[in-house]
Structure 1
Amino acid sequence: MSYLKFDRRLMANLDESTQREYIRTNRKGAYCCSSIVGCNTRKYHGVLVIPIPSLSPNNHVLLSSLDLTIIQHGVPFNVGIHEYEGDIFSPKGHKYIREYNVDVASSTTYRVGGVVLRKEFIFCHYVNRALLRYTLLEAHSQTTLRLSPFLAFRDVKILTHQNTSINEAYQEVKSGVSFCLYEGYPTLHLQLSKEHQYVSAPTWNERIEYTKERERGYEYTEDLYVPGYFDVDIAVGETVYFSAGLDEVAPESLAPLFEEELAMRTPREDFRSCLLNSALQFYYRPDATRGYLLAGYPWFGVRARDLFIALPGCTIYADAPERFYRIMDTVIPDTRAFMNQVGVSKEIQGINEPDVGLWAIWTLQQYAHYAGNEDMVSRYGSFLDELIHYYLRNVHPNLRIDETGLCLIIGDGKPLSWMDAKIGGRAVVRREGYLVEVNALWYNALCFYKEVIPSRWDEQLETLLEQVRESFNQVFVNEHGYLFDYISPHTRQDWSVRPNMIFAASLPYSPLSKPLRRSVVEIITRELRTPKGLRSLSPKSDGYQPQCHGTQLQREQAYYNGSVWPWLLGSYFEAYLKLYGQGAISFVERTLIGMEEELQEHGVGTISELFDGNPPFKGRGAISFAMSVGEILRSLKLLEEAKREYDTQTLPIIRYE
């Protein structure tokens, strides 16, 4: 039985099936993405979406969709689906779907009269190629498949419309044809494994609608070019392969290539294996030597803070330390270049943010927990030393260590922390001054440095460490038992209850006493905890906005004023387990089982960027987010370690189907 399986009832309900999306990537920045029913609901959706750096920094949709028509006795049954302007769905291929499941390859089974056909999809590793496999399971008479490509050749952020600039010419290739619709684009090769007939019948499908873009306040209709179609006969028990790629491939190689790709994949058979698959999807290798983590799909690139936060969970706690080494070897030179003021990385966005170095130290600390202090110092000790002294030199344009010993962050109104929503270039939540998580990270960083490189520790640093601890308690602790989110010398004190104080209770070294840490966790549990993560603002605080949808302006206002962020669960669980010991294990376990349900929802088999702040906690934002996946994987490791420590004989960490 498949772990991720959707029956005909759900697939036929478009209100349900179009809300669930899948994502597959090739580790080179390309991806395929759509709703599980096959109806594209975003401008980012497509069968083959690839980076073309010479044209723009964004990805580009080449093949938007591939319509499948089953023909018997000359009667066509189009099992594709598109939404057109006016909420019109045509064709209505969803009514023929009997099952959709995601085990190794995405698989859709159709029944049309006496015909039962299975379609399977694979996105190849490290090459820009999508492979589809069609297998005829049942039929009572001659059956023909008709495949109609919908071509876009556009930036993911720009919709296309019928125009005269298009190049309608096509070239015949072995068992297929190729197209290049506009200058500057690569050639798209469409090929089949079997002899067929290609019929050139150029037409524009006009006014296709993307409902997610309409909800987001963007342009939402476009015209797609359909150059013609492929007709191929298929017999019962026979399999036909279709390839969409940037280079020509031998048709006879498609079957073994599909099997080879299939064998490389880990089946999605439980919660953790789904997360492991998802973690691998973020891994981005633009060439043979470099490696990064993309922040999320379908629209994020490489972001420094996200990378360091997600890195432990998506690599060392995903049983892939080799990825950790490659990524660190890639990002350390760029981080050093910024610290030495010799340049800012073009590949890594936000490497100049003031807290990025502190998150990098946290990442090194996680690695030390995994591999041991000696190994960490051997590999990364000099980098840790540079990071600490970079902050001590007070050369960052937006951060300085002031007379209190704390990190003071001052800017010009732009976002300066992970809460980076902005309107008109100005932060929606202007967190400046002393930020609670930044200073918790700073205290933790100093303690970690003292622990692992004692030879570099001196009396001056010891004095600073004690000063940071005392100042932290004086500045952030209030009489209500929680911590101020930030203290700004230029604005009125904000008493809002926000989740960033969790780091002062969760980090390996905390400046707070145990009673204070307990108080912080209890308040977060009462006001911020949900089954999907921690709210970014308490419902009791002014400005709470639980729904993160609508136009970009509405979403920006809601991101950090009530939306739920699942990546914060990692630190919340860490603090909870430290404080409550064996009694916390069942609580963490139950919460993770609740999170497991999310794999069937917004992003199938993965975890979304954020959720609404109120029930039913609907998934929002990116359908797959590296920080969410990474911190849930780390949470599973924390739970495993707690069970081992207390020798708890309970149910498995997560139920298995």
Structure 2
Amino acid sequence: MNPAAEWLEADGLGGFASGRADGVRTRRYHALLLAAASPPTERAVLVNGFDATVRTPDGEWAISSQRYTPDVTAPDGATHLASFTVDPWPTWTYRLPNGIEIVQELLVLRGAPVVALSWRLSGLGTRDSGLVVRPFLSGRDTHATHHANGAFDFTPRVEDDRVRWQPYADRPAVVAASNGRYAHEPVWYHNFQYDEERARGLDFVEDLAAPGTFTFDLSAGRAVLVLAADLPEAAPWIARPADACWRDVERAERARRSSFRTPLHRAAEDYVVRRGAGKTIVAGYPWFSDWGRDTFIAMRGLCIAGGRLDDARDILLEWSRHVSEGMLPNYFPEGGQPAEYNAVDASLWFCVTVHETLHASGADLPALRDAVEAIVSGYAAGTRFGIRMDDDGLLAAGVPGVQLTWMDARVDGREITPRIGKPVEVQALWINALRIAAAREPRWNDVADRASAAFTRRFWNEARGCLFDVVDVDHVPDTADASLRPNQLLAVGGLPWVLVDGARARRIVDACERALWTVAGPRSLAPGEPGYIGTYGGDMRRRDGAYHQGTVWPWLAGPFVDAWVRVHSDTPEAREEARTRFLEPLVAHYAATTPGHLAEIADAEPPHAPRGCPFQAWSVGEALRLSQELASNFSPSRCISMACERTPSRATATW
């Protein structure tokens, strides 16, 4: 058991609970009840955590631990932890010095901001045992920290087995239902220390309010504490007695979780959340909301490969309403601010995902076909930030001061990887979008033919046996960036139509495997290249400077493995080798730190420690997509790729 391993319980609305195996909160995002008042936005931390103490005739022992400044861990509950598992939900077993074992369980209900906790005796020792639980409350923005103040309202409203607190008028109230006894003992706890935030150069000290305690008789049976945000989705659950609520939540969640074939399939559902009357995908927990690019990449695995085609349709229909000048937003800010249209590739990934969704479902949705046509037409005519089709049919994009590709880090107002001009993966996506649009408007095939010919002529770098990363750099004709990056893989695998085949494709994959592949996924820049950084860490400036300068991105395992299988003749033997050689070690690498999930990034150098957002949608999505494809002799994208090889200039999409 890795005591620093992190667990996640998501509610399907954008809210969640999260923490570490040892119970020590090291992030300001580690929380017991974090709810989205306007799913998936307006998220607030309502209940941060708790202290718990077991009382017996032999003495008292803590089964919780907190971090306080300066570098103090107290009480010592983590030292009594005997085991931890996330299957089927986070479960801790504490073994006390007198032989008593306490099993603590935590689960979040899907579809409501409700977290249910229980404690029960297990093993040998005296049965005359009690439990005291003291929750810590804040009511703050999810990205902030909380500090002692006179405005916090400790006043409880007690009714039967429920207690209601409304710390701040502009945040949802907290309702606690228990089968124990509540005692009002308001007090501030000062100087909680969040080590991960300190390492990230952010505010890492917080004060929390403790309104009172819940006391339980463990000898009488299971102790139950249900915490909920006082929002409409929670109302039917918090109206029930605590014992009944626990039984109903446990029954519902056990049935739901047992329906998934694998841990990856179960993890996939954590990222699919409600937005208005539709659905969207949270890019990652704990700090991301829904992003366009991330959504369309991730849903290929989370929804299409996962068999959630209705969810895929709903997500695409929701996003299709936001096409503007050929572009889709890359980000919906919190607080109702206008959507941000600042990505060249998000709209193109949308086209690919529409195609694969309709291909897999056999459906015909005119609204989605209209959106694809609007995107391709808008890009061809020219739109924001210099995005336009050039005379050669390729897509030019970029202006100083704006990061349009997925390599979008900035430091001190400067783009680390501006990639202005004609980036290689943008061309692969653009030509795929043209082929997809040609199913409705055949005229786009002629444009795709012209762009494909230009791509073949312009992007091959014979000296290095791979593709240039950008041509016409900064819109200067006949210039090229020869940096060895993984973006070129999308010209060989990972998309419905491939742009490079034969010996050149094999040389590209071999070059990427030698210089970029790690057990954690592909590096974003090859070692030895100018600007390469092997470790991701430090304050925001240092982290952002390393983000795409070598740092490993596991989502890129999708196009890499697709390309590798393809250049190895796409045989059953090649798929099996890819599964055991690449996919299984990749999933196992991240399982040690985020069981059932994959992180956003990892260090470029061994031991390739996971970094960044610990639970990332497109990392899980691409692993799930690969798992599905490598286990099957059939995949729509692979069949289309082979058709493209046979008739590269006239491969036709099917809706």
| TM-score w.r.t. length of structure 1 | 0.88
| SS of alignment partner, residue 359 of structure 1 | helix
- Render the CA deviation track for 1:169-201: whole Å, top value 9, x for unaligned: 211122132212223122111120x2x332222
Q: Which residue number corresponds to residue 102 of structure 2?
A: 117
Q: Alignment RMSD, CA only?
A: 2.6
| SS of alignment partner, residue 120 of structure 1 | strand
User: Residue 409 of structure 1 contacts residue 432 of structure 1 at CA under 8 Å; is this kept in 2?
Assistant: yes
Q: CA deviation at 1:334?
A: 1.4
User: Residue 446 of structure 1 contacts residue 465 of structure 1 at CA under 8 Å; is this kept in 2?
Assistant: yes
Q: Which residue number corresponds to residue 177 of structure 1?
A: 163
| SS of alignment partner, residue 324 of structure 1 | helix
Q: Which residue number corresponds to residue 473 of structure 1?
A: 456
Check 1:397–1:50 CA distance in 2 against 1; reply closer, same or farther (3 A cut): same
Q: Which residue number corresponds to residue 301 of structure 1?
A: 289
Q: Which residue number corresponds to residue 619 of structure 2?
A: 628
Q: CA deviation at 1:84?
A: 1.2
Q: Report the residue type matching 1:111 in the other structure.
A: R
User: Residue 144 of structure 1 contacts residue 231 of structure 1 at CA under 8 Å; is this kept in 2?
Assistant: yes
Matched, 1:131 2:116: yes
Q: Which residue number corresponds to residue 268 of structure 2?
A: 279
Matched, 1:431 2:419: yes
How far, CA to CA, are the matches of 1:486 and 1:32 in structure 2? 42
Matched, 1:26 2:11: yes
How far, CA to CA, are the matches of 2:635 and 2:553 in structure 1? 28
How far, CA to CA, are the matches of 2:365 and 2:275 in structure 1? 28
- Render the CA deviation track for 1:534-591: whole Å, top value 9, x for unaligned: 1000002111111111111111011100011111111111111111122522331121
| TM-score w.r.t. length of structure 2 | 0.89
Identity score, percent? 26
User: Residue 118 of structure 1 contacts residue 135 of structure 1 at CA under 8 Å; is this kept in 2?
Assistant: yes
Counterpart pick for 2:213 among 223, 229, 232: 229
User: Residue 327 of structure 2 contacts residue 347 of structure 2 at CA under 8 Å; is this kept in 1?
Assistant: no
Q: Report the residue type matching 1:179 in the other structure.
A: W
Give runs of aligned pairs for residues 249-268 of structure 1, distance below 5 A. 249-251=239-241, 252-267=243-258
How far, CA to CA, are the matches of 1:560 and 1:148 in structure 2? 43
Check 1:343–1:473 CA distance in 2 against 1; reply closer, same or farther (3 A cut): closer
Matched, 1:496 2:486: no
Q: Report the residue type matching 1:320 in the other structure.
A: R
Q: Which residue number corresponds to residue 69 of structure 1?
A: 53
Check 1:255–1:416 CA distance in 2 against 1; reply closer, same or farther (3 A cut): closer
User: Residue 164 of structure 2 contacts residue 175 of structure 2 at CA under 8 Å; is this kept in 1?
Assistant: yes
Q: Which runs of 5+ in 1 are unaligned?
A: 1-5, 7-15, 647-657
Q: Which residue number corresponds to residue 605 of structure 1?
A: 596
Q: Which residue number corresponds to residue 126 of structure 2?
A: 140
Check 1:524–1:340 CA distance in 2 against 1; reply closer, same or farther (3 A cut): closer
Give runs of aligned pairs for residues 499-578 of structure 1, distance below 5 A. 499-506=486-493, 507-578=495-566
How far, CA to CA, are the matches of 1:343 and 1:499 in structure 2? 22
| SS of alignment partner, residue 153 of structure 1 | strand
Q: Which residue number corresponds to residue 153 of structure 2?
A: 167
How far, CA to CA, are the matches of 1:510 and 1:559 in structure 2? 27
Q: Report the residue type matching 1:553 in the other structure.
A: R
How many residue pairs were aligned? Answer: 616
| SS of alignment partner, residue 68 of structure 1 | strand
- Render the CA deviation track for 1:337-360: whole Å, top value 9, x for unaligned: 453999996679554422222111
Q: Report the residue type matching 2:540 in the other structure.
A: Q
How far, CA to CA, are the matches of 2:328 and 2:404 in structure 1? 19
Greater shift after overlay, 23-32 or 320-329? 320-329
Greater shift after overlay, 439-448 or 427-436? 439-448
| SS of alignment partner, residue 249 of structure 2 | helix
- Render the CA deviation track for 1:13-64: whole Å, top value 9, x for unaligned: xxx412x11111111111001111111100111000112459x955211111
Q: CA deviation at 1:643?
A: 8.1
How far, CA to CA, are the matches of 1:636 and 1:119 in structure 2? 33
Greater shift after overlay, 549-558 or 153-162? 153-162
User: Residue 334 of structure 1 contacts residue 344 of structure 1 at CA under 8 Å; is this kept in 2?
Assistant: no
Give runs of aligned pairs for residues 358-397 of structure 1, distance below 5 A. 358-372=348-362, 375-376=363-364, 380-397=368-385
User: Residue 367 of structure 1 contacts residue 376 of structure 1 at CA under 8 Å; is this kept in 2?
Assistant: no
How far, CA to CA, are the matches of 1:264 and 1:130 in structure 2? 17
Q: CA deviation at 1:86?
A: 2.3
How far, CA to CA, are the matches of 1:426 and 1:342 in structure 2? 22
Give runs of aligned pairs for residues 318-333 of structure 1, distance below 5 A. 318-333=306-321
How far, CA to CA, are the matches of 1:198 and 1:566 in structure 2? 47
Q: Which residue number corresponds to residue 209 of structure 1?
A: 193
Q: Which residue number corresponds to residue 17 of structure 1?
A: 3
Q: Which residue number corresponds to residue 649 of structure 1?
A: none
How far, CA to CA, are the matches of 2:329 and 2:306 in structure 1? 34
Check 1:356–1:141 CA distance in 2 against 1; reply closer, same or farther (3 A cut): closer
Q: CA deviation at 1:263?
A: 2.9
